[in-house]
């Protein structure tokens, strides 16, 4: 469960989950939504996969990600989004990232 909380503590990862709520998306399509490097995005995907919140499927050179949230995890995501849950950057295993929507 701590992996789930860690995964949900980052706004970028929460935004990835929000995007996947609409349906499965490729890694490229997801990465386009954020102003971060591919490595950073891969790290975010890895954290989400380790927490079993998303699943990936490889078809040729394309990786498709899709949501794998239980109802409880879905409710936790909504709660985290509402209260803006966030851990200190020092505790994070991935680099700082800013979604494109928050660009100045």
User: Residue 81 CB, nearest distance to other proteins (Å)?
Assistant: 16
Residues 26, 33, 46, 52: which binds other proteins (CB under 8 A)?
Answer: 52
Cβ contacts of 11 within 8 Å, gap of 6 or more = 84, 86, 99
Residues 6, 26, 68, 81: which binds other proteins (CB under 8 A)?
Answer: 68
User: Residue 104 CB, nearest distance to other proteins (Å)?
Assistant: 32
**Residue 75, class by beta-carbon neighbours within 10 Å (0-12 exposed, 13-18 middle, 19+ buried)?**
exposed
Binding of other proteins at residue 29 (CB under 8 A)? no
Which range in 4-12, 17-25, 37-45, 90-98 contacts other proteins by CB under 8 A?
17-25
Binding of other proteins at residue 69 (CB under 8 A)? yes
Binding of other proteins at residue 59 (CB under 8 A)? yes
DSSP secondary structure, 43-68, as one string: HHHHHHHHTTSEEEEEETTEEEEEE-
Given a contact cutoff of 8 angstroms between Cβ atoms, the answer to whether 47 and 13 are in contact is yes
């Amino acid at each position: 469960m701590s992996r789930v909380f860690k995964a949900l503590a980052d706004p970028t990862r929460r935004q990835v989950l929000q995007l996947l709520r609409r349906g499965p998306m490729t890694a490229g399509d997801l990465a386009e939504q954020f102003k971060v490097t591919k490595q950073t995005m891969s790290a975010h995907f890895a954290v989400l996969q380790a927490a079993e919140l998303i699943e990936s499927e490889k078809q040729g050179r394309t990786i498709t990600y899709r949501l794998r949230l239980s109802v409880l995890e879905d409710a936790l995501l909504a709660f985290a989004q509402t209260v803006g849950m966030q851990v200190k950057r020092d505790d994070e295993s991935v680099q700082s990232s800013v979604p494109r929507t928050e660009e100045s």
